[in-house]
Amino acid sequence: MRIASLHIHPIKSCRGVSVPRANLDERGLVDDRRWMVVDERGDFVTQRQEPRLNLIAVGAADGGWTVDTGEQVTIRPTDAEERAAVRVWGDPVSARVHRDGSALLSEHLGRSVRLVFFGAEAERHAGDSAPSAKVAFADAYPLLLIGQASLDALNERLEAPVPMSRFRPNVVVTGSEPHAEDAWTRLRLGAIEGRMVKRCDRCSIVTVDDAGVRHKEPLKTLATYRREDSKVLFGVNVVHEATGTLQVGDPVESYVPPYSP
């Protein structure tokens, strides 16, 4: 098995960026979900409420990112100074506001929002399955991994196939069987050790296409064979145990650790 592709999402719930290699810090892939849109109360805003976020393209710029809604602005951490108390799934975070980015996104969405940055002073821990791990603005865990074969198996059931970008993974693996990742406990991505902490339950974001339009698929079909209790599961959340670098083509190994009494 190998890493087929790597993806970062600089602004939570906006379009992602595919990269040939990526550095891992303690919170996940560097630059992944370090920016986020919040409403006037400081609560995070995603495609669940605003499907039009998927129209926003993000591209690399010197020291930051370009944000393109039809109009463009460049966002850099050094330009975000004003502090703001924000919340992600109820977790309080001290963030920094980017004024020009906030104005552009407010115009795009037709409502008052702020674009905020997760700075070095910010602190947030991962979800209940790995409370000692750290995370930035991702929903709960540092990495999301999906096997390419899992998407291929889904697309065989759909009238119109969907791209992997619908599921917003960080790491896509090739060479595994469909949904083999469900059973992995320990894994090695290149030289980086990690562990699978939970299977990922999916929400309506996977139904939003590149035009910012919500559909019934692929969630409707996934629910026919990937439902467990009230959750629809696709992909796995991973916690890495070291920093380093991942690149496309790196070997991927799943294994059971030796018993230690």
Task: Render pLDDT for 19-78 as a digit per residue (tens, 0 to 9).
Answer: 999 999 999 999 999 999 999 999 999 999 999 999 999 999 999 999 999 999 999 999
Average pLDDT over residues 110-125: 97
Exposure of 156 by Cβ count < 10 A (0-12 exposed, 13-18 middle, 19+ buried)? exposed
Task: Render pLDDT for 167-204 as a digit per residue (tens, 0 to 9).
Answer: 999 999 999 999 999 999 999 999 999 999 999 999 99
Q: Which CATH number is 138's domain given?
A: 2.40.33.20
Domain match, 16 and 104 both:
no
Of 56, 1, 29, nearest in space to 255 by CA: 1
Domain match, 17 and 82 both:
no
Quote the pTM value: 0.95
Which positions ≥6 away from 258 have C-beta within 8 Å? none
CA dihedral 91, 94, 99, 101 (to 10 degrees): -40
Pairwise CA distance, residues 197 & 123, whole Å? 21
Q: How many domains does the chain have?
A: 2
Domain match, 91 and 203 both:
no
Q: Tell me, yes or no, whether 260 lies in a domain.
A: no
Mean pLDDT value across the chain: 96
Domain match, 34 and 157 both:
no
Domain containing residue 91? 30-117
Domain match, 98 and 134 both:
no
Q: Is the per-residue pLDDT at 257 higher than 90?
A: no
pLDDT more than 70, % of the chain: 98
Average pLDDT over residues 122-146: 96
Pairwise CA distance, residues 120 & 95, whole Å? 10
Q: What pLDDT is recorded for position 255?
A: 85
Q: Tell me, yes or no, whether 218 lies in a domain.
A: yes
| 255: β partners | 186
Domain match, 238 and 142 both:
yes
Task: Render pLDDT for 97-117 as a digit per residue (tens, 0 to 9).
Answer: 999 999 999 999 999 999 999
| Whole-number CA gyration radius for the chain | 18
Q: What pLDDT is recorded for position 166?
A: 97
Q: Is the per-residue pLDDT at 81 higher than 70?
A: yes
Pairwise CA distance, residues 164 & 151, whole Å? 7
Are 254 and 186 a contacting pair, CB within 8 Å?
yes
Q: What pLDDT is recorded for position 256?
A: 72
pLDDT band at 261 (very low <50, low <70, confident <90, very high): low
Q: Tell me, yes or no, whether 261 lies in a domain.
A: no
Pairwise CA distance, residues 31 & 28, whole Å? 9
Pairwise CA distance, residues 170 & 32, whole Å? 8
